[in-house]
Structure 1
Amino acid sequence: MITAIVLIQTAAERLTEAAQEIADLDGVAEVYSCAGDVDLIAMVRVRDHEEIADIVPGRINKVDGVLDTDTHIAFRSYSRRDTEATFSLGMEG
């Protein structure tokens, strides 16, 4: 599974509608509205890079109100849950 983090700038008056339209796209797992340099962050999870090429420029960028995107591809995931699971292997008790 490939994860892409898509930072999205939107027109202020279309933020809510754009967020929902993006969230409804196949391949988009979550969309977060946030404070800071970007308006929305979309988590895209797909099987191959071709799907990212279809989703981001092909669909997200065409949502009314989307002004710009910046896509980051994740190589590896780290989380407390993953670390705890690794160190607890074989330690049932």
Structure 2
Amino acid sequence: MLLNPMLKKGGIQMMESFVLIKVGTGEQLNFAKTAKEEIARIKGVVKVYGVFGRYDLIAHVKAHDLDTLSRIIMDKIRSIAGVLNTESLIIGY
């Protein structure tokens, strides 16, 4: 079932998510900047925004399926130094 026809690209349904990212300050105060640059280089990441509030960064991520989306978030984004936690908002409609 295609929840959002806008997510269909070339006949393939795409998964999209906004990933809310909390970054630690620790000893290195530029964790957010460094993490933002590293996240932006990950394949599947469309854009990364620095924001004010409970989270420090928001990443717009696209993948061909939920498994790939999960691997981008769990294996790549969460493994970056300074990333404390993430919350994913998967676009549904």
Q: TM-score normalized by structure 1?
A: 0.79
In the TM superposition, residue 41 of structure 1 has moved relative to its aligned partner by 0.2
In the TM superposition, residue 29 of structure 1 has moved relative to its aligned partner by 0.5
- Give the whole-Å Cα distance in 2 for the aligned partners of 1:55 and 1:16: 19
| 1:65 equivalenced with 2:63 (yes/no) | no
Count how many residue pairs are aligned between Structure 1 and Structure 2: 76
In the TM superposition, residue 61 of structure 1 has moved relative to its aligned partner by 0.2
In the TM superposition, residue 53 of structure 1 has moved relative to its aligned partner by 1.3
Q: Of 40, 53, 58, which aligns to 1:36?
A: 53
Report which of the two has the higher share of strand. 2
Report which of the two has the higher share of helix. 1
Gap regions ≥5 residues in structure 2: 1-13
Structure 2 counterpart of 1:26 = 43
Runs of 4+ in structure 1 over 3 Å off: none
Q: Of 47, 50, 68, which aligns to 2:67?
A: 50
Q: Report SS of the residue matched to 2:74.
A: coil
Structure 2 counterpart of 1:11 = 24
- Give the whole-Å Cα distance in 2 for the aligned partners of 1:19 and 1:44: 13
User: How big is each residue's C-alpha offset from its partner over 1:5-45, in whole Å with a ceiling of 9 and x where there is no partner?
Assistant: 10000023211000000010001100000011110000001
In the TM superposition, residue 60 of structure 1 has moved relative to its aligned partner by 0.3
What is the aligned-residue identity percentage? Answer: 34
Structure 2 counterpart of 1:81 = none
Q: TM-score normalized by structure 2?
A: 0.79
Computed over aligned residues only, the root mean square deviation of the Cα atoms, in angstroms, reads 0.8
